[in-house]
Structure 1
């Protein structure tokens, strides 16, 4: 496997760490900006909003300019590093919010450019394996990036974590600039043909389920730090290790779901959402018991966003999986992420306490189960294409 594939995976790791690490440094950010926990949670939502806007629009713009994938990715990483540096240096919550939005916009387009370079770099029969390495940065960010960023926050301050991501992004760009050969301009695609895929009701139903799964998970995960410290009674020093354990659960769950998602797409999603609902209910009821709260947090890690392989398989069944279909799916997933974090914060602001995000997660998970009900009789064996 070419070295650049691993560098692309490290790039995705950097971008995703920046997206999620706010969840581990909420106490520091609330003090630094003199805002509530809910307002810090919105910094996750606004990043996700940037990804939703940036994916379809910025990618389409780069395709229209026929910019080579390498040039596009280097430009995007440069813009990302600038926005991340602004976030690291600012003392203004408003400026931080704007910077988070623009890092989300550029990160979304980086995903598409990185996967295109991945496909161009390796032989066709190795593209699936190479793509899995590149996207492995997503899970590694939860398992390693967020805990390390939290540790750095606790010992060196939150700015150090933000600066580290900016520096790592620049380093990845320099290596990509040296390793990736010059490529021809992007091939024009038929937007009309791709847009016709969006006439499918099944596709939109698949998108809705994906958004609800991710929303249910992040309604809870976005507020794990205050729940585990203020309700469960863990010290701040324990949070990086607990978040790291959650990330390991993500990796394990993703591996298991990936093995069965193709042949058993709907059963995997039904069982996953059922277990997610049960874990969130127990967590909400017994969050004051430390051992139970840890067990349920790990359970959420095992069956939450790890359903991604099944979500992708369902989308590939519902429509021809062209670039725009997959880009919009990524946007929908981030809508779910932002929606979950936002709704969880509303519960806290309304005075229902720190457990309320867990109950919001329960509601979204139940809605996810209901969205699958009309399709359960259509379970057929399906083999999604690797891209």
Structure 2
């Protein structure tokens, strides 16, 4: 039976989510854990590499910049490659980079390791989202993406504390090796569970690049960067906010992150389903709730009870917007790996800007600043949605959306 027939069988096989979607979500969790875990290893990395803590902290920025600038270039180079071998190649490249990091004795070697793993992670995210979109019927893409992007969320909530615990128990190198082992296991699962996914036939690189001329697409990228940038402006500094303002003991912080994690799981299940049929409404509602929530959190951050409520609701309405954001980008362009990698790159740019602004705000006015800055960024995201709505109404009056494929013009213009 041909690979095309196999893929069609997967698309039409009842309503059960394919196992490959869950495998891809697990792989995203493992790869993204290496991005976020450095935040919990800073003291150990600083001592082990004999550099200031600020230099160790720059390893987070190095990874983000590698995803922003290098990921799309690498994905472009892989556009004509079959999808499954390309994903396997990126996982092997990640293993090489992670191993270099685990063995690093000099700071510059760790920088190289972070760049290599960032390139592999960014390209894998784009490929995984593209394969995922082709494993399920169109009306289930949002739900499938919720599972894949759920790996991203779990990495932030559980991967970081787990890596920190391993560091405290056995050292930072053990945390790097642990991720290496997990990714190696995921590589085997990908080889077994993910069906062959050939590159799209008749793929024209110039045509793929032409979609980036769309102002609507860049508007969607801007929305995504501002939404997640606003979330991470707060998330990156939750630990000092919870201990410094709310007065929680440091030992309680991991448990509080678990509460946040429960919120992301619940939000992901709900918003992932809404993303299938109500993409734009989900973004509008989520953005509005986030803006109000972050603004209120800045005001009540000294109350432990209200902080717990804000933490849980932030988990429910922040990162779980990822499936709706990705579905909107695909509706305005295509489900290719390059589009999804660019979406990841712009989100990483938003995270970099959001966390930098939050840090500067803390220096200026204290630990209420991250929530206030986050609210301003998500308010900016709502402004981009408003501009898109006005533009779409004008386009609807004069003709169909030129930026969207014919089979998705209605979705793009909602």
TM-score range normalised by the length of the shorter chain: 0.7 to 0.9
Q: State which drifts further: 51-60 or 185-194.
A: 185-194
Counterpart for residue 72 of structure 1? 86
1:371 positional shift: 1.8
1:204 positional shift: 1.3
| Whole-angstrom distance in 1 between the partners of 2:364 and 2:320 | 31
1:12 maps onto 2:28 in alignment: yes
Q: In the alignment, is the contact (CA less than 8 A) between 1:142 and 1:246 conserved in 2?
A: no
Please point out which of 243, 260, 263 is paired with 1:249.
263
| Whole-angstrom distance in 2 between the partners of 1:2 and 1:370 | 37
| Whole-angstrom distance in 2 between the partners of 1:234 and 1:28 | 24
Q: State which drifts further: 198-207 or 168-177.
A: 168-177
1:221 positional shift: 0.9
| Whole-angstrom distance in 2 between the partners of 1:16 and 1:145 | 8
1:78 positional shift: 1.9
| Whole-angstrom distance in 1 between the partners of 2:357 and 2:195 | 45
State the Cα deviation string for residues 293-345 of structure 1 (Å, max 9, x = none).
33222222222122223323432443344443333222211211222222223
Counterpart for residue 49 of structure 1? 65
Q: In the alignment, is the contact (CA less than 8 A) between 2:127 and 2:340 conserved in 1?
A: no
Counterpart for residue 314 of structure 1? 328
| Whole-angstrom distance in 1 between the partners of 2:279 and 2:139 | 24
1:106 maps onto 2:120 in alignment: yes
Q: State which drifts further: 283-292 or 130-139.
A: 130-139
Aligned residue pairs total 380
Please point out which of 345, 364, 372 is paired with 1:331.
345
Report the CA distance shift for 1:95/1:341 in structure 2 as closer, same or farther (over 3 A): farther
1:253 positional shift: 1.4
Q: State which drifts further: 241-250 or 316-325.
A: 316-325
Secondary structure at 1:87's aligned position in 2?
Answer: helix
Alignment of 1:138-217 (within 5 A): 138-177=152-191, 187=201, 189-217=203-231
- Show structure 1 runs of 5+ residues with no match: none
1:362 maps onto 2:379 in alignment: no
| Whole-angstrom distance in 2 between the partners of 1:19 and 1:86 | 15
Please point out which of 12, 35, 39 is paired with 2:52.
35
State the Cα deviation string for residues 171-200 of structure 1 (Å, max 9, x = none).
222444466677767745112222222222
| Whole-angstrom distance in 1 between the partners of 2:93 and 2:346 | 23
Report the CA distance shift for 1:131/1:205 in structure 2 as closer, same or farther (over 3 A): closer
Secondary structure at 1:261's aligned position in 2?
Answer: helix
1:28 positional shift: 4.8
Secondary structure at 2:125's aligned position in 1?
Answer: helix
| Whole-angstrom distance in 2 between the partners of 1:25 and 1:94 | 17
CA RMSD of aligned residues (A): 3.4
| Whole-angstrom distance in 2 between the partners of 1:130 and 1:261 | 10
| Whole-angstrom distance in 1 between the partners of 2:267 and 2:222 | 22
Q: In the alignment, is the contact (CA less than 8 A) between 1:16 and 1:138 conserved in 2?
A: yes
Report the CA distance shift for 1:242/1:25 in structure 2 as closer, same or farther (over 3 A): farther
State the Cα deviation string for residues 65-113 of structure 1 (Å, max 9, x = none).
x4x4343333222221222223334354444344223211111112234
| Whole-angstrom distance in 2 between the partners of 1:257 and 1:175 | 27
1:373 maps onto 2:374 in alignment: no
1:295 maps onto 2:312 in alignment: no
| Whole-angstrom distance in 2 between the partners of 1:259 and 1:185 | 28
Counterpart for residue 59 of structure 1? 75
- Show structure 2 runs of 5+ residues with no match: 1-16, 397-407
